[in-house]
Structure 1
């Protein structure tokens, strides 16, 4: 954003798509909650793109600027919104100097994923004039009706570019559907499949979250938590730590190869591959602080992934399997030449049967840790 555009916004009154703040209180929980509510409310309100302008008095419109102690980074805002909003809201942060004073501008995009919800309290917010309020029943119904095709994977990453996509994978996906992609239909197909997002008509396309996960070899630039970490505690000559990143299918392939190098040939590899496949497919990708982790030692092998896989009621009784990421599943089952995803739904049975008469398999669904773990028996199977 340039200074001319910013000055024109400052001249306007606060409203459903515009909010002024002297500073952000990001060093306390209350401040983070307030920012989350305001961004959710602006995103849920009609009218396209919204803005929060920081460093300007909301009543007088005096340009004060952001003080050095109150400066913030885009990564801070992204982290707050990604972990506290469901689904995450596409935003962008710019800093513009006016009269030698630095002003922060948080641009809030209409990502087509309404209604956005605050995770902490489960509430949906909207702007009424210049104030933030809880959404009413009818307002929620309207937004849900407008967005019944809601998928978290199609949430856009505003800073991304489709240049980072592996077009060989994209071409293979559409080829499996009997469609030949070319320059004339490329834009339409990427948008229709949810691989890309158009935040403004005619503007360069941005990648969606799912588009990057499935079709980009370098998605870690935008999604650093898309990672498999293998910790080998067996022998030092195998290396103690291995980091695997890339598109989801390549991550499964590379993890399989690395584990085959580490484990003895008689170990039931099918069980580990099934556990890794399920972790990659069903993990909670919007938990930015967690990754898939595999710990291998002589007593056990632990495959841990973010997000609970089994829904439980208040009594701790299992009620349903939480099979999130159906958009990813459709893409992966189309692309996977090894047909590993055709057994989806039988993963637990496959894993347990692999160790029948050899050892006990444990499945741990942790609400406290917000994780799901598969614990396999010792590598010294009798």
Structure 2
């Protein structure tokens, strides 16, 4: 996490934060286990033993240094379940010994002696039950059902509209066999003797998924200015249909406000602000990869005079980072991805976005977004994480 001792010293001077923790001496075994698990359950971090909270390097005696390292190894392997990955390093700074323990972000959720912890600012906190459930779902532990396959309370077979679910049943089957096929496709889920609609079933086969899954819609706003200002708001829509219809509605919203400039040379040259192929990929990605367990926010699309911003609730899945996005095929909602890959586009949209289905599964979407947008505007689109929300900014091409 630190490439040199100099970089580490600079970090010590800045003090503790979400990624670094100081300990003057070896703390109680259980307390250190909680600290280590908190880093593994968050974004990873570093624990420095031999430095006090005032950023003073107090150091450890050589014998104590060896003992502390041995205890850290035991804690990481025996006191945390499942065991965490870690890396220890003995360092000498200002003629004093310190132990550095680096803990990477984990694929799993770890329990330490006093419960489940994560990192907030410069402290560890115990994870509330709802946040713990979301973390387990995000990290795809084998014992946790993917969220898009979970049942939705207060639903039943009739929640799914026949005109929507028939798209996913290719066979010509009788009505009595429909329920079994919907269960096999996980559009329905069995709960004891009751049959409920799954999250994916509601999102793809109900007219207004927001009736059952709060904020499961796309909000789109167009401003003629470069900032959010109601005085310059030209258009605003909420798209609440099944997910495939939401994608098309949002796509057509951008298309409607995608200004095209032109110049005449040998022939007329038209240049839109945005590549609609890139826009389609961006909207599909936002819908497929959003975290539907987070009902606090919806997908939000903002068009400004100089850019488009697209916000999708949910941090990146598993070990995916911003840097790895162009090369990653990790999918948060595999069932939704499979269903969207089965729906064909109408001929007009198919010709515009150069694909037959909503999703092709080749993992080319981010590359198309980056390459086609940069070719138009000369600026590389920007991916950013804002807390647990992914924001994509696509810059508008200048007029010819």
User: Into which bin does the TM-score normalised by the smaller protein fall?
Assistant: 0.5 to 0.7
Comparing 291-300 and 158-167, the one that deviates more = 158-167
One of 205, 218, 222 as aligned partner of 1:215: 205
Residues 192/275 of structure 1: CA separation in 2 closer, same or farther (3 Å cut): same
* Matched residue, 2:394: 376
Q: Is the contact between residue 377 and residue 396 of structure 2 (CA under 8 Å) also seen in structure 1?
A: no
Q: Is the contact between residue 340 and residue 358 of structure 2 (CA under 8 Å) also seen in structure 1?
A: no
* Matched residue, 1:247: 242
Q: Is the contact between residue 307 and residue 396 of structure 2 (CA under 8 Å) also seen in structure 1?
A: yes
Residues 313/346 of structure 1: CA separation in 2 closer, same or farther (3 Å cut): closer
Residues 357/200 of structure 1: CA separation in 2 closer, same or farther (3 Å cut): closer
TM-score by length of structure 1 reads 0.56
The question of 1:153 aligning with 2:201 is answered no
* Matched residue, 1:229: 219
The question of 1:282 aligning with 2:330 is answered no
One of 154, 177, 180 as aligned partner of 2:172: 180
1:140-190 CA-partner distances (Å, limit 9, x unpaired): 9xxx5xx69x43211111211222212122112111xxx223222112111
Q: CA deviation at 1:247?
A: 0.7
1:23-45 CA-partner distances (Å, limit 9, x unpaired): xxxxxxxxxxxxxxxxxxxxxxx
CA–CA distance in structure 1, aligned partners of residues 137 and 332 of structure 2 = 19
One of 367, 370, 376 as aligned partner of 1:349: 367
CA–CA distance in structure 2, aligned partners of residues 118 and 285 of structure 1 = 11
Residues 285/200 of structure 1: CA separation in 2 closer, same or farther (3 Å cut): same
Q: CA deviation at 1:213?
A: 0.8
Which structure 2 residue ranges, 5 or more long, are not aligned? 1-127, 226-230, 261-271, 346-355
The question of 1:197 aligning with 2:197 is answered no
CA–CA distance in structure 1, aligned partners of residues 162 and 292 of structure 2 = 23
Matches within 5 A, 1:245-324: 245-265=240-260, 266-267=272-273, 268-309=275-316, 318=324, 321=328, 322-324=330-332
Q: In structure 1, the residue corresponding to 2:392 is in which secondary structure?
A: strand
Q: CA deviation at 1:317?
A: 6.5
Q: CA deviation at 1:210?
A: 1.0
* Matched residue, 2:380: 361
* Matched residue, 2:133: 85
CA–CA distance in structure 1, aligned partners of residues 305 and 387 of structure 2 = 24
Q: CA deviation at 1:233?
A: 0.4
Q: CA deviation at 1:362?
A: 2.6
CA–CA distance in structure 2, aligned partners of residues 155 and 326 of structure 1 = 12
Which structure 1 residue ranges, 5 or more long, are not aligned? 1-79, 88-116, 123-139
Q: CA deviation at 1:381?
A: 4.5
TM-score by length of structure 2 reads 0.54
CA–CA distance in structure 1, aligned partners of residues 233 and 282 of structure 2 = 22
Mark the structure with the bigger radius of gyration: 2
Q: Is the contact between residue 312 and residue 318 of structure 1 (CA under 8 Å) also seen in structure 2?
A: no
- Count residues with an aligned counterpart: 242
Q: Is the contact between residue 365 and residue 373 of structure 1 (CA under 8 Å) also seen in structure 2?
A: yes
Residues 171/82 of structure 1: CA separation in 2 closer, same or farther (3 Å cut): farther
Q: Is the contact between residue 234 and residue 298 of structure 1 (CA under 8 Å) also seen in structure 2?
A: yes
